[in-house]
Amino acid sequence: YERLDKDNAVLLVVDHQIGLFQLVHDIEPDQYRTNILAHAAIGKVFNLPTILTTSSETGPNGPLPKEIIDMHPDAPFIKRTGEVNAWDNSDFRAAVKATGKKQVILAGIVTDVCTTFLALSLVQEGYTVFANTEASGTKTVGIANDANARMRAAGVHVLSMFAVVCELMRDWRNTPGSPELLPFFDQYYSSYGFLARGHAAAIDRGTILPGESE
């Protein structure tokens, strides 16, 4: 069990482009928009080195959402003009290697190509790879399942955004911990955000109703 370590991890945002977004049908669009923004925000809340990359963004693939660019204005941004697998781009490889980190958190569009090809290449290069399945999208659930199975067979850890964040945090008393992560969840994981809001409301002004129990 190799645990995610915030001091040894780099976050990759791979081809989360507004044109390629139209190819994602295994996750509902509004939810997927939230998921890709949450993925980018992981780098910000944990102060991880973050690398952005796009593929042929002046064509139909389009640019990255401005929200992601605004989140990471100083991050290396590799604009590939032909390479499908980001690892085939020398500038991208150099940016990843320059971080000195050996754990890679990534997500991309589409899961079976942009995420999988890069994940397999990184494993081959000796990195431990964590693929954020919620922020990787593709045409169908079946295609996503096959791509995730292929990555797992190669040793890639395929996990949710919540799992990535909780493993990086490890303890609510850490920094980043509850002061940083509860607002993050409130913005990007509404179920947990409202759970926390409900708890706060109960402490602040709640009463025990007849019939209630712990």
Reading the block at residue 11, the tokens are 């976050």
Contact 135, 35 (CB under 8 A): yes
d(CA 166, CA 84): 31
Q: How many CA atoms lie within 13 A of 56 on its CB side?
A: 10
Q: Which residues contact 128 (CB under 8 A, 6 or more apart)?
A: 2, 102, 103, 104, 157
d(CA 185, CA 193): 5
d(CA 123, CA 142): 24
Burial class (CB in 10 A: 0-12, 13-18, 19+), 150: middle
Exposed e or buried b per residue across 88-97, where buried means at least 16 C-beta atoms within 10 angstroms of its C-beta = ebeebbebbe
Catalytic residues: 114
Element (H, E) at 55: strand 50-55
